[in-house]
Structure 1
Amino acid sequence: MLSAPPVYRNSRIRIFILFLNLIFVFLSVVLLSSSCTKSGDAPQAFSVNDGTIDLTQWNPERDGAVPLKGEWKFFWNTLLPANEPLPEDGFILAPPTIWNGLQTVDPRENPEGQKLNGEGYASYAVTIRPPASVAILAIKIPDAGSSMTVIANGETVYTAGRVGTSEDSFTPYYRPGTVDLIVSPGKDIDLRFQVANFVDRHGGIQGEVLVGTPAQIDAVVRRNIVYEMFLFGSILIIGFYHFGLYILRKQDSSPFWFGLFCIDIALRTILMGERLFQTAFPGLPWIVTNRLEFFTGYLSIPLFLTFLYSLYPQEVKLRVVQAFWLIAAAFLAVVSFTHPTFYTESLPYYEVVIVAGIALVVATMGLAARRRRPGAIQALGGILFLGGCVVLDLLRLEQIFTIELFTTLTPLGLFVFILSKSYIISERFSRAYRTAEQLADEMKELNSAYSKFFPEEFLRLLARGNITEIGLGDHRSMEMTVLFSDIRSFTELSESMTPEQNFHFLNSLLGEAGPIIRKHDGFVDKYIGDSIMALFPGSPDHALDAAVEIQAKVRQFNQERIDAGLEPIDVGIGIHFGPMILGTIGENERMQGTVISDAVNLASRIEGLTRAYHSTILITGELLDRLEQRERFHFREIDIVRVKGKKNAVRLIEVLDGFSPAQRELHEKHADAFHRAIESFRSGDFTSAQAQFETILSDDPDDGVARIYSRRCQRLVEKGIPENWEGITELRYK
């Protein structure tokens, strides 16, 4: 019975498996294409045999460029002269490579032969039989450790540094290059490579010699340069991009360390391969560029481990990271202060450190993936690829892995790891964005909740974005309109209701007033029992519009109460305009927004006078003078009052629009008579004034202000005019 294929329910596992498959295919394609395109698919028949390669049957278009692999002639301790015949004491070296570890037979020095190290000098020789159809052959020359001269048919055609028979007579330099050779019909090309090394641990030719047409060789070089520049530019940009991330958010150090790691590998990319760094800075001594090459290699592991520690501090131990930094520092000190023959020999030992670091990184990421750390599964795939590339480069460096690739693989591995990390970054940003959206929604809900206790308008007036930005003592001075409203005789009314009925009554009435205030560009500053204090930052007309609409709503509310068999209520409103200080008071653990000003106190007292004058809306003369469209309203000046503790008197204005339409018409009908009666009263003609007020009351008995003045006139007639009479009412209470 066939079983069904396993179902991967975890999407991250599916992504990880897919990613591993992709990088495996990618690496396979790179390895195959590198090994194949390097030789241009040339048949194996084109190889060097006993120091000669026969290219008479070579077709450039069909066969492509040809690597000069096979049996070169090698001459130890000899720098072959340009025009002399080849000596007979050379031996075959296949393929041409470094001479480290070779066994030579030199009867002059050691009849048993000697095992060569990196120091010394030698010559490589190969003869090319060119095809008759090609006029010019191009040669791609690799690096050599650590100086080289190429002679073709007796002429020096290429130099890198200066070859010599001792350290004093030679100059090291790494410089891969190309040369063009003119083909003479029927004449072989004699190539001699003089190589000397007294500073590097590896001596000899360190790459593949390639022959082809100038266009073919130029295409190979351009491909290598484009590839290396692509990796260099991409990795460098990614590095600076991560520096930017770190600058924007320094709480997370992982972008900083990854940026340093990227710049380290980017610099190493152009220090090796086609040696683009040396091409850009040809005047730099070999020792400088060589030490830079070692620096970038030795710094890579501790930088990457520090990056991982910043991402996964619970999986990567700090002491382990510090240990790798100490080891790297020791090796860097050796590179900085010792001779190249010594510090280049340190590389195999540090390769052990690199392999150990790779193993630690893989184990760490495996642990992080098992613990389901964010992005660990995806990063593990990229690290496996990067680690594989590093190991392949190390094997090639030690001549253990001999397949020819057109460049080092470590930058390519890093590029693939960056691709995996880009997924991690996008996931982190997506998660951060979702978190930010969630926090924003929560902040909106929080602000919405706080706005019920701390008005949003209050925040805006203080130039604050949300409640968290408010601090104790924040304040602002400005001119505003303040409105006070109060339910008259609420204490007596509340005694006849249960607590539940009291709250329902207040909330139902205040719930009608709040929207009206906001409708007219005001906001409720606070509720004081059954009273409302509201502020209007804009035009004073807005406050008056709100007051008139509130009184209209109260009349509607009263009609509902009357229909329900309940007593109607009266609401008094007082409004004033003046300078105020808006801010927060209290202490650090408990604060509230408030307005501090004499204008607030005066508005509260004006509201209190509505009960005494039986008025619905009273305003001050200051506010009347500030109205922008006073023609829309109906007023009458009812008194001049001086509140206790104040020197200046205040004109008291009654807004007739707060009454019912019928009541307002009666008040307007007697407006002129009321004004004349007030003038008589202020001039001290109380008898005439009383008569005029009584005339008004005979037609409008509900005019509470006329009734108050009639009683005042009666009292003054009986007691006489007081001394210093000004016609101003003194308020003896606050």
Structure 2
Amino acid sequence: MTVTAKRFAALLILFLLSAVGLLASCAPQNIDTVRLRPKAEAGVLDMTGMAMNKSIALDGEWAFYWKKLLSPEQQEQRAPDTYVQVPSAWGANSAVDVERYGYATYALTVKHDRQAPHMGLLIPSISSAYTIWVNGERIWDNGRVGTDERRMDPHKEQQIVTIPSAEQETRIVIQVSNYMHPRSGITESIELGPVMTLSREQFKQAAYDMFLAGGLCLIGLYHVGLFLMRRNDKAPLYFAVFCLVISLRSFLTGDTLIYRFAPSVPWELSARAEYLCLAVSVISFTLFLRQVYPKEMSKRFIAVIISLSAVYGGMIALFKLRHFMFLLPYFQIVIVVAMSYALFVFVLATFRRRERAAISVGGALLLTLSVFNDVLYNQGLIQTGYLVPIGLLIFIISHSFILGMSYSKSYALSQEWAAKLQLLNSSLEEKVKERTIELEEANRWLERQTLIDGLTGIANRTHFNAVFQRMMEKTAPGRSIAFFLMDIDHFKKYNDTYGHVAGDECLKRVAGAIHDLAEQNQGTAARYGGEEFVMIAETTTEEAAELADRIVTKVRNLLIPHSASDTGPWVTLSCGVVAYTPKAEAAASLVSFIQQADQALYKAKEKGRNGYVYEPFIVQ
């Protein structure tokens, strides 16, 4: 790498790091400086004396009632089974035995001073159905809660709901049921605050997600265009698929933008699409790396990663939701291994001084870190949010720089070669003339070849059709056109007895005999197909029958042995012939000749073969 290239790589990596900071600062924040973070204890969140002008995450210990769907009235009369931390899966820190799938009731009492008007809750996606009451009033249903899988309808959507005002405390009761998603319960923070504040935060999040998803989609389509212009290079295609599926996944996760555009999308369909995007992204990214760095990628590793991803993708398409969702942590291990190996490939390519590999390392490192973040966030180990779209966007920026440099280098090379070509033009003119003459001769030879049957050396069907039209137009007055259709008797038996090589030699000799007679009578013979031949000649009616007899006799006199024939020890031929005198008022077509000659040939075979049948042509 030159000094200039090294400087450029360093500047690019610095730019990528700056871009990460910029995008991270633009992303919706989840830190204490933006939202107040009091913690609930024993099902009570004490906010007395605190201002209600900001959003507050209702995190901490919620009252938990396992295998009970309680109304607010019933919940007030029962002691909780235990207290669980929110946000987290309901079995993560419960003091009671809690299964992965089932149903439960959460309850929280928020104590505060007089509540400001127009307060609301920002409710995240809770897997996979819930009903929420606030101060005894049922304010929202997400899907339909049920005590078993058949009685519930899942749904996934982030929602802002306005809550009824209260003087000193707000009581929240949430029924949750889940029989599909591997993480059950309230796994993301529910926020309380002014509706305008919550709406503003939701809008920022949606705008941020739209920016990332739209940017990835546009860049994916751009790479599709690159592939369409250079289809021999598959790298842009695989990279485009990778960008597009990550863009689609951005619509299906987080703020679930898909429901803003298509509220009626079934939860099961969106869940399958979300998980299928993971499998397709791993496959497409692996194939992309193989195209870019084939010498650094292990073929066995590629086969293993693609096979595992394809199997998981097939399970997503065919199996029940809970089955493939249950396997997600294992597939996430595959993703982590694949991304770690991808980073290794980029570093290895850099050490081997592959062109511009050093520039890719910065973007690849950030993308790998974002994948690790998403895996940890999906498992509930960290609360950062999904960052793969950011990492991918940074990686795409680095890739776009590389692509621009490649095109710049290609353009410089093309300019250099253009200058060299101008110097060679004068000497090439004479060579071009010589090559032109050679090409003209070759074209004439090829033209002749297109009119000749490759095996027998006589005219082929295309040439015969043209000759037929000319003869129909130029036949002398009073003369007839005789059309002969011939077939070698029992030729299949000949091939079965003597073999196809001998069969080819037989066809050549018979074709030669027919061709000689055609030339002697100013006619044209051609191979019609297989062991069938046609001939056309300008004759009288009597001459047509005589010529047909001469053809049959000459083929028989070739004395080509045919022990399997029913007509004798030699190869014989059957012939059907029709004759026609052209008339201005009634023209005859080639198809009519073939049909009537074929009928005459059939009659010749019916009479015992090794002969001919002549019939006058009937204009139809």
TM-score range, shorter chain: 0.5 to 0.7
Aligned partners of 2:236 and 2:223: how far apart in 1? 5
Aligned partners of 1:273 and 1:398: how far apart in 2? 14
Distance 1:250 1:81, change over 3 A: same
Contact 1:38 1:404 in 2 (8 A): no
Question: Deviations 1:682-714 (Å, cap 9, x if unpaired)?
Answer: xxxxxxxxxxxxxxxxxxxxxxxxxxxxxxxxx
Partner residue, 2:468:
none
Partner residue, 1:669:
none
Distance 1:447 1:270, change over 3 A: same
Aligned partners of 2:36 and 2:112: how far apart in 1? 16
Q: How far did residue 53 of structure 1 move?
A: 2.4
Q: How far did residue 471 of structure 1 move?
A: 6.2
Partner residue, 2:253:
272
Partner residue, 1:96:
87
* Pair 1:423 & 2:385 matched: no
Secondary structure of residue in 2 paired with 1:263: helix
Partner residue, 1:147:
129
Aligned partners of 1:88 and 1:135: how far apart in 2? 31
Contact 1:236 1:262 in 2 (8 A): yes
Give the residue type in structure 2 aligned to 1:424.
Answer: I
Partner residue, 1:388:
369
Distance 1:335 1:96, change over 3 A: same
Partner residue, 1:124:
106
Secondary structure of residue in 2 paired with 1:144: coil
Distance 1:33 1:118, change over 3 A: farther
| Alignment equivalent of 2:173, drawn from 172, 175, 192 | 192
Secondary structure of residue in 1 paired with 2:337: helix
Aligned partners of 1:299 and 1:181: how far apart in 2? 41
- Where does 1:132-281 land on structure 2 (aligned, <5 Å)? 132=114, 134-184=116-166, 186-281=167-262
Distance 1:254 1:34, change over 3 A: closer
Partner residue, 2:531:
none
Q: How far did residue 36 of structure 1 move?
A: 4.6
Partner residue, 2:436:
472
| Alignment equivalent of 1:66, drawn from 43, 56, 61 | 56
TM-score (norm 1): 0.57
Question: Deviations 1:492-537 (Å, cap 9, x if unpaired)?
Answer: xxxxxxxxxxxxxxxxxxxxxxxxxxxxxxxxxxxxxxxxxxxxxx
Partner residue, 1:622:
none
Partner residue, 2:78:
87
Secondary structure of residue in 2 paired with 1:71: strand
Which range moves more in the overlay, 231-240 or 315-324?
A: 315-324
Secondary structure of residue in 2 paired with 1:356: helix
Aligned partners of 2:70 and 2:22: how far apart in 1? 41
Distance 1:86 1:141, change over 3 A: farther
Aligned partners of 2:323 and 2:412: how far apart in 1? 55
Aligned partners of 2:288 and 2:197: how far apart in 1? 42
Q: How far did residue 332 of structure 1 move?
A: 1.5
Aligned partners of 2:77 and 2:283: how far apart in 1? 50
- Where does 1:669-680 land on structure 2 (aligned, <5 Å)? none
Partner residue, 2:34:
41
Aligned partners of 2:91 and 2:24: how far apart in 1? 26
Distance 1:11 1:443, change over 3 A: same
Distance 1:422 1:29, change over 3 A: closer
| Alignment equivalent of 1:357, drawn from 311, 314, 338 | 338
- Where does 1:444-593 land on structure 2 (aligned, <5 Å)? 444-451=422-429, 453=430, 472=436
Higher relative contact order by CA 8 Å / sep ≥ 6: 1 or 2? Answer: 2
Partner residue, 1:410:
388
Distance 1:146 1:73, change over 3 A: same
| Alignment equivalent of 2:42, drawn from 30, 50, 57 | 50
**Structure with max Cα Rg:** 1
Q: How far did residue 25 of structure 1 move?
A: 5.2
Q: How far did residue 222 of structure 1 move?
A: 0.5
Secondary structure of residue in 2 paired with 1:92: strand
Give the residue type in structure 2 aligned to 1:89.
Answer: P
Q: Could you tell me the percent identity over the aligned residues?
A: 26
Aligned partners of 2:211 and 2:28: how far apart in 1? 20
Distance 1:249 1:56, change over 3 A: same
- Where does 1:704-719 land on structure 2 (aligned, <5 Å)? none
Aligned partners of 2:327 and 2:52: how far apart in 1? 44
Aligned partners of 1:345 and 1:147: how far apart in 2? 18
What residue ranges of structure 1 are gaps of 5+ in the alignment? 1-7, 106-113, 455-466, 475-583, 589-734
Q: How far did residue 131 of structure 1 move?
A: 4.1
Partner residue, 2:321:
340
Contact 1:315 1:368 in 2 (8 A): yes
Aligned partners of 2:404 and 2:173: how far apart in 1? 55
Question: Deviations 1:340-389 (Å, cap 9, x if unpaired)?
Answer: 22111111111111111011111111111112222211111111100100
Partner residue, 1:440:
418
Partner residue, 2:470:
none
Aligned partners of 2:259 and 2:51: how far apart in 1? 35
Contact 2:84 2:90 in 1 (8 A): no
* Pair 1:328 & 2:309 matched: yes
Aligned partners of 2:44 and 2:322: how far apart in 1? 34
Contact 1:96 1:124 in 2 (8 A): no
Distance 1:92 1:23, change over 3 A: farther
What residue ranges of structure 2 are gaps of 5+ in the alignment? 444-620
- Over the aligned positions, Cα root-mean-square deviation in angstroms equals 2.6
Partner residue, 1:720:
none
Secondary structure of residue in 1 paired with 2:163: strand
Q: How far did residue 446 of structure 1 move?
A: 2.1
Aligned partners of 2:27 and 2:41: how far apart in 1? 25
Question: Deviations 1:597-639 (Å, cap 9, x if unpaired)?
Answer: xxxxxxxxxxxxxxxxxxxxxxxxxxxxxxxxxxxxxxxxxxx
| Alignment equivalent of 1:317, drawn from 298, 312, 326 | 298
Question: Deviations 1:256-287 (Å, cap 9, x if unpaired)?
Answer: 11111111111111011111123323323222
Distance 1:395 1:319, change over 3 A: same
Question: Deviations 1:83-127 (Å, cap 9, x if unpaired)?
Answer: 33152133222233211344433xxxxxxxx2x342011122112
Q: How far did residue 9 of structure 1 move?
A: 7.6
Distance 1:41 1:286, change over 3 A: closer
| Alignment equivalent of 1:369, drawn from 342, 350, 355 | 350
- Where does 1:275-314 land on structure 2 (aligned, <5 Å)? 275-314=256-295
Question: Deviations 1:533-571 (Å, cap 9, x if unpaired)?
Answer: xxxxxxxxxxxxxxxxxxxxxxxxxxxxxxxxxxxxxxx
Q: How far did residue 170 of structure 1 move?
A: 1.0
Contact 2:245 2:277 in 1 (8 A): yes
Distance 1:56 1:448, change over 3 A: farther
